[in-house]
Structure formats: C-alpha cells, structure tokens
C-alpha cells in the first residue's frame, strides 16, 4: 500500500496527544459530568449509539466527552470498544407493537387508532437561538420540572401507552402485498444474516441491508434518501407511522427460558409507497396496483435516520440500478460513517513510498519530454531566408532600419 512507519516521531505523537487533553480542559471550567451529558445531550448520544452499533448510554456519553463533542469520532470509539466485548447471548426479536410509546404520528391518516401523539420533538419549534439558555440556572430547571409534573394528572400517568400499527388498516383492506415485516414471505425476507459474523455478498438479503442501514451515518442516509425523493431513485413515500418509545429486550438462558434484561429506546418508521407494477403495456389483465412498505428501525430517537432507512429500503428493492439510491453496494458501502471516516482520514497518514514513486515517474517523463524536444529542435532544417520580389534597386542602398520603418 505504500505506507511507511514514522521513525523518531514518538515524542511528537505523545506531545500531540497531550495537547488534545490540554485543549479539552484549558478554560478551567468545571468538568462536565457523564450524567449531565446523558440527560442534556440525549439526541447526540442516540446517534453515537446507533452509528457505533452499541446501545450503552453511559459509554456513549463518555465517548462524547472524550472527543469534545465529535459525534462521528465518538461512534468510532464505541464501535471499536464493542468489538472487544464477548457475545454471550442473542436477544429475541423485539416486538414494537408492545412498545411503550413516547411519540407516534402518521402523515398518511389524520385519524388513527389511539390518536396522534406528538411527544418530544423539535419539529414544531422555531429554529431560532434561545438566548435564555445562556443564563440558565439549576433553580430554573427545578422550577420548570415541578410545574411540569404538577400539570400531569394521575389519569395521564395511567394512560394507554401501547397501540396497534397504522399499516394494519391497509393490510386489512388487502392493499399491502409481499412487503414489510409480516408481509414478506419471500426467501429474501426470511433469510437472516448477522453482518458481524458473515461477509456481505451482493445482492445482500434484506436482513443484512437493514442491519447495515441501522448503523449507517445519519447524514449519509439523508443525502441518498433525499436524492431518491428528488427523482434519483424513484421512491417518494409517505410516513405511514413513525413511533419512538421503549421496547423490552429478552434473551434465552441455557435452559431455554426467556429472561427480561431491560429496555431500549428505538425509533421505528414504516413508509408507504405505491409499488410499481410494470409498464402499462406489460401489465396483465389481473394485475392491480398496491402499496409497499419501506422499513426503518434504529437505536434512540433519530427520526431522520429511520425515515431515510425506510426510503432506501424501498429504493433498493426496485430491481434496477438507475440511480445511486437503487444500488445496494453503493448505498450500503458509502453510508457507513465509520468506514468512510477511517478511509478518508487515512490520507493523513504517511504515503511517502507511493507519492515518491509517482513523483519519480513524473520527473522521468518530464525529462524525457525535454530531451526529445531538444533533439527535435537540433535535427530540424534551417528555414529559408525570406525575399521580397517587389523590392526596388534603391532599397539595397538604404539602411535596414529605414527599410523596417518604411515597411
């Protein structure tokens, strides 16, 4: 690859690491406690856990503190740490129908069973800087929490928090076909692949694609999902249901008994799109249009990611490669933030051998070109002297400068 070890740079590297620590704490402000990060930077930590493929809020907060808020670098650390841990159990499939719902909306139907639950979201806030936070005090925080708790009645606390799926209404009417979770009865839909244990081969089964999308970088998914909505992918869906909440995680012990080990917060998106039934001239008499579901589920509250997962899930099932969003290999390999960051930043490492080799080749080529040009110039015949057939006899008696002036 042309890499070479840097010799004699151990002290410089140690000093660089020490400078990082200095810049992190140089202002002498009180250190940020991990619990504060968990409570007040929950959305950033949710992204870190999702892209790091490791659900551990405490470690996510610690990684965020360690790298001074760089979410992608923190996710890198989380995934690296995850790789050192032993795998003791495989959890059972989570049931999002029994989710303890904290937020649930549908942009496809106004009236849904149980109603729309807006929950915690910045969607309805004004995107302006709140200068009041500059002087926020602990007393203000406590006062707000007390007032908020007082407004919640005992009835509200005991309200139903589990709801059926919105897409069940379409399923009951026979408008969904061969897509989604329970609807996918194809071999691709039934085959389960663990991407941490098996190398990815294309075309990859849907389980592998969804796993890779679940730990992909949010910005990368959004870019390709947006490209599909703009026409470069053929998928512009509607949110059938978007829900955020807590789901139970269980494992089987050595005796086969199911054990509850805790809850995790997840975001689930089911995107409704009209499936293509082929060109009008190619449709059979019995073919009818139907709806398809694009599915997305990720750690924490990351609604943009879950929605884009649903878009790309459908885009990659179109059976074509007309656009980047339709190409499995393009989407899955180029949205993994850890892979992309690692390969991009490796350009900062020494490439002395490869660059010097290329530089020597260019120098030799330039030298050969100059030598050839000089040889061609030396072997070229002398050009003939120009004559003026119209010159008069008196011109020979005039000085050259006079002739030039007259011409």
Strand order through the sheet with 100-105: 100-105, 238-252, 258-274, 291-299
Omega of the bond leading into 194 within 30 degrees of 0 (cis):
no
Written as six digits, the tokens of 6 are: 């840097």
Paired strand residues for 234: none
Paired strand residues for 297: 268
Q: What is the pLDDT of residue 80?
A: 96
**CA-based R_g, the chain, Å:** 33
Per residue of the chain (407 residues), give pLDDT as tens: 444 455 557 888 899 999 999 999 998 888 999 999 999 999 999 999 999 999 999 999 999 999 999 999 999 999 999 999 998 888 999 999 999 999 999 999 999 988 999 999 999 999 999 999 999 999 999 999 999 888 887 667 667 688 989 999 888 888 887 544 454 545 566 778 899 988 889 999 999 999 999 999 999 999 999 999 999 988 999 999 999 999 999 999 889 899 999 999 999 999 999 876 655 545 554 567 789 999 999 999 999 999 999 999 999 998 788 899 999 999 999 999 999 999 999 999 888 899 999 999 999 999 999 999 999 988 878 777 665 555 555 555 555 555 444 44
Q: What is the pLDDT of residue 3?
A: 47
Reduce the secondary structure of the chain to three states and give it as a string. Answer: CCCCCCCCCHHHHHHHHHHHHHHHHCCCCCCCCHHHHHHHCHHHHHHHHHHHCCCCHHHHHHHHHHCCCCHHHHHHHHHHHHCCCCCCCCECCCCHHHCEEEEEECCCCCCCCCCCECCCCCCCCCCCCCHHHHHCCHHHHHHHHHHHHHHCCHHHHCCCCCCCCCCHHHHHCCCECCCCCCCCCCHHHHCCCCCCCCCCCCCCCHHHHHHHHHCCCHHHHHHHHHHHHCCCCCCCCEEEEEEEEEEEEEEECCCCCEEEEEEEEEEEEEEEEECCCCCHHHCCCCCCCCEEEEEEEEECCCHHHHHHHHHHHHHCCCCCCCCHHHCHHHHHHHCCHHHHHHHHHHHHCCCHHHHHHHHHHHHHHHHHHHHHHHHHHHHCCCCCCCCCCCCCHHHHHCCHHHHHHHC
Q: What is the pLDDT of residue 43?
A: 97
């Amino acid at each position: 690859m042309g890499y070479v070890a840097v010799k004699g740079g151990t002290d410089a590297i140690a000093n660089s690491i020490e400078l990082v620590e200095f810049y992190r704490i140089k202002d002498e402000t009180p250190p940020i406690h991990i619990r504060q990060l968990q409570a007040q930077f929950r959305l950033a930590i949710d992204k870190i856990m999702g892209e790091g493929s490791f659900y551990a809020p405490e470690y996510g907060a610690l990684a965020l503190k360690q790298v001074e808020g760089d979410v992608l670098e923190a996710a890198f650390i989380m995934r690296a740490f995850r790789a050192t841990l032993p795998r003791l159990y495989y959890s059972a499939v989570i049931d999002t129908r029994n989710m303890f719902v904290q937020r649930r909306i549908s942009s496809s139907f106004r009236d849904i069973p149980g109603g729309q639950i807006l929950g915690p979201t910045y969607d309805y806030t004004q995107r302006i800087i709140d200068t009041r936070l500059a002087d926020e005090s602990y007393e203000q925080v406590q006062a707000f929490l007390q007032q908020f708790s007082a407004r919640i009645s005992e009835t509200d606390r005991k309200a139903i928090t589990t709801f059926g799926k919105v897409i069940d209404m379409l399923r009951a009417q026979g408008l969904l076909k061969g897509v989604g979770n329970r609807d996918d009865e194809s071999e691709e839909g039934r085959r389960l692949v663990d991407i941490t244990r098996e190398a990815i081969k294309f075309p990859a089964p849907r389980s592998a694609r969804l796993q890779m999308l679940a730990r992909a970088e949010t910005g990368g998914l959004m870019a390709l999902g947006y490209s599909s909505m703009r026409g470069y992918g053929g998928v512009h869906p509607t949110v059938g249901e978007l829900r955020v909440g807590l789901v139970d995680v269980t494992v089987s012990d050595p005796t086969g008994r199911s054990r509850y080990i805790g809850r995790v917060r997840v975001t689930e998106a089911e995107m409704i799109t009209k499936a293509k039934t082929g060109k009008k001239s190619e449709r059979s008499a019995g073919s009818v249009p139907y709806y398809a579901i694009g599915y997305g589920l990720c750690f924490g509250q990351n609604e943009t990611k879950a929605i884009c997962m649903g878009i790309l899930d459908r885009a990659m099932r179109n059976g074509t490669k007309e656009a980047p969003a339709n190409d499995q290999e393009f989407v899955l390999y180029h949205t993994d933030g850890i892979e992309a960051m690692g390969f991009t930043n490796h350009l900062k490492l020494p490439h002395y051998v490869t660059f010097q080799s290329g530089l020597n080749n260019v120098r030799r080529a330039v030298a050969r070109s100059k030598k050839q040009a000089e040889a061609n110039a030396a072997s070229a015949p002398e050009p003939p002297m120009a004559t003026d057939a119209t010159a008069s006899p008196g011109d020979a008696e005039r000085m050259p400068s006079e002739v030039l002036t007259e011409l």
